[in-house]
Structure 1
Amino acid sequence: MATQGTTVTREVIWRRVMDELGFEQARVKRDQEGVGLSGVILVAEQGAPLRVDYSVVCDPAWRTRRVAVTQSWRGARQHLTLEHDGAGRWLRDGRAVEALEGCTDVDLGLSPSTNALPIGRLQLAEGATAEIRVAWVRFPSLDVTPARQGYARVGPARYRYESLDSGFNAMLDVDADGLPIEYAGIWRRLAEGPAAPEPTSERFVNALVSPGPSTELGDAAATFGWLVGGWEGTIQDHDLEGGVRQSEGEWWFHWVLEGRALQDVFIVPSRRSRGSTQVEPGANRRYGTTVRTFDRAGGTWRILWVSPTGGAINRLDGGREGDALVLRGEHRSRPIRWSFSDIGTDRFTWRGEEQDSAGQWKLQSRFDMRRIA
């Protein structure tokens, strides 16, 4: 195990010996703030590769508080987020799930690692038993249902696990963290050792990026939530003399700050077109970011655009107006207006306008974007 102050991190690899069709690599981290389990599961499911990336955050008493799962299977990527208040109330993707009321732990159906959660939480004495309800995540459907389970500590490092609904039971030999060493001929540990520190960049991304919007946003999340993903398209910049400069650009959106904000990265020319003949001489270059937050008191979205390449910092606010999204602000003491229009499932137009001294709106930029992710 690797120890950094009071932090202990280690990694484990299991093979699914039941059918020789899968592996899991998991990382466990323990410190004064709680316990974290994260890992990747690779299995063959119905003849197709299935990959599951997961993380489980627990408090210091091993009570499950947050679960994030990303599944890739048959060309589709799906996400699941579960939040638990530690007292039996669960949210799935921000919505309460009454069927899970009273569940104490999460059980990822493909993973041996989550058996450690009730073992660590219950701290059973040798010879003691316990019956629990868990939020059981099934793959590849990603259904989450309540399941009754039993645990009995039959030795210093041995537990009998039982599914009380199906009658299945198995012996688990575990280590000091409750992680299985041998799971009754189903999973077998291949290796374990100290975990390398997470790269600073990865830790930053994990602190910033969120799997979905916060419940605090309510219905307002839908205003800009449809933008999450990647877009590319044609960028036109209009000058005062009527000239038009054109290039290709890319635009990426994701929820951040525990889902309380939506952030983007806007890049012109796109990275794949740089250095090619597609980039016209003199074309505007942008590499900037926007953060969108919702003002619940005023019922409007507030937007901050920062462009290090152009030196611009624009503040706008607004929201939906009919079939368009319209944002207004000022730039160099002139009113500006940016709007999304012609919105479809895989396209939109983004127009930037500035008001002249006569009160007329003049087109400055037009982006015609199509979804790529």
Structure 2
Amino acid sequence: MTREATAVTREVLWRRVMDELGFEHARVRRDQEGTELSGLILVAEQGSPLRVEYSVVCDAAWRTRRVMVTQTWRGVRRSLTLEHDGGGHWRRDGMEAQELEGCTDVDLGLSPSTNALPINRLRLDEGCTAEIQAAWVRFPSLDVTPARQGYARVGPARYRYESLSSGFNAMLDVDADGLPVEYAGVWRQVAEGPAAPESPAEAFTNALVSPEPSSELGDAAATFGWLVGGWAGAIHDPAADGTVRQSEGEWWFHWVLEGRALQDVFIVPSRRTRGSAQPQPGTGNRYGTTVRTFDAAAGLWRIVWVNPVTGALNRLAGRREGDTIILLGEVQGQPIRWSFHDIRPDSFTWRGEEQDSAGHWKLQAQFDLRRIA
């Protein structure tokens, strides 16, 4: 039996009855390894739509281990990653977060779902109380601060929650998963049911894509990290007769493989111009990918580019040199050089060159790109 087949999944919908200005759609996935709470929160915040997507991964004892949050508000997308060793030590966005030392759970300030974390971890007997320290995430600032909280089990499915810093307290009626059914007139569970399993595409993406570079890369991550996102622009392909073919292309980058590599997808012509009739294989037609990994021993970034359209397979290596990134390799014994120039926050130029028998570099392609995401 597969791991997916043994998982129990359900989804829950809450309405923010306090002001009728928000909803949360959450998914609970439990198996022998632990539980993941993930969801989408949509609320009105200071007159603007606030969208929050989150994932909280817990081990089998309901200890919070990893938290990923992406927020969009007033035209700005921001993200937050928290990692917990299960013993009170935290990292925020890959850096040690000493201010959270001793926190045991995460509390997403907008979400009723994370109350289930201490409820399930503590498993209080009826009539018992406990005090915890939670890593409290506030929205839309995405500040994370320690928060002293108290939980008391006052009935079979009822808990009293208290913020020991502010004095706020509320009664929580919960379901079998410890998720609030009624959160003292603030949130109310309005729907629940079984959840469909991840699609193969979702499962693959979740296994591949990483929210940030691995801490193992250290300062080396900055060499290519600025590329994360999307780029589009003019692609120039010189021909032997001196003419230049120009196309529109798109280039997408993200961290993958637990953040130890950076991968891209490069598409020329761009998808919106490829149309239903696919371009014929040949120079200028690209729908390929590059994987970049860092060789710490050599101090080099090594890359592999694959273009199934033409069958191209190139390997290069290099590093940043001042304001330029230079990568060197060979194709059929001929030296090649790929380089990034004029690097700015929202634009750059990429050049692909080949060295002739006289040692001169000849331009094979040039991409002038601007940021689109």
- What TM-score bracket applies, with the shorter chain setting the length? over 0.9
Structure 1 contact 57–66 (Cα < 8 Å) conserved? yes
SS at match of 1:99: helix
Deviations 1:122-153 (A, max 9, x none): 11111111100000000000000000000111
Distance (Å, rounded) in 2 between the aligned partners of 1:90 and 1:118: 17
Q: CA RMSD in A?
A: 1.6
Q: TM-score scaled to structure 2, two decimals?
A: 0.96
The match for 1:263 is 263
* Structure 1 residue 239, shift from structure 2 partner: 2.8
Deviations 1:308-332 (A, max 9, x none): 0010111111011121000001111
Distance (Å, rounded) in 1 between the aligned partners of 2:5 and 2:73: 39
SS at match of 2:272: helix
SS at match of 1:178: coil
Q: TM-score scaled to structure 1, two decimals?
A: 0.96
The match for 2:226 is 226
* Structure 1 residue 4, shift from structure 2 partner: 5.9
The match for 1:150 is 150
Q: 1:96 to 1:345 in 2, by over 3 A?
A: same
Say whether 1:59 aligns with 2:59.
yes
Structure 1 contact 247–283 (Cα < 8 Å) conserved? no
SS at match of 1:248: strand
The match for 2:179 is 179
Structure 2 contact 21–44 (Cα < 8 Å) conserved? yes
- Structure 1: stretches of 5+ with no match in the other structure: none
Structure 1 contact 340–351 (Cα < 8 Å) conserved? yes
* Structure 1 residue 297, shift from structure 2 partner: 1.3
Say whether 1:37 aligns with 2:37.
yes
The match for 2:140 is 140
Say whether 1:272 aligns with 2:277.
no
Please list, as runs of the form range in 1=range in 2, the aligned pairs for 1:11-22 lying within 5 A after superposition.
11-22=11-22
Distance (Å, rounded) in 1 between the aligned partners of 2:229 and 2:6: 38
Deviations 1:86-113 (A, max 9, x none): 1111111101111100000000000000
- Structure 2: stretches of 5+ with no match in the other structure: none
* Structure 1 residue 5, shift from structure 2 partner: 4.1
The match for 2:364 is 364
Opposite residue 293 of structure 1, the aligned amino acid is T
**Stretches of 4+ moved more than 2 A in 1?**
3-6, 239-243, 273-276, 279-283
The match for 1:127 is 127
Between the two proteins, the alignment pairs up a number of residues equal to: 369
Distance (Å, rounded) in 2 between the aligned partners of 1:11 and 1:280: 45
Structure 2 contact 81–92 (Cα < 8 Å) conserved? yes
Structure 2 contact 33–59 (Cα < 8 Å) conserved? yes
The match for 2:254 is 254
* Structure 1 residue 275, shift from structure 2 partner: 4.7
Distance (Å, rounded) in 2 between the aligned partners of 1:60 and 1:273: 49
The match for 2:241 is 241
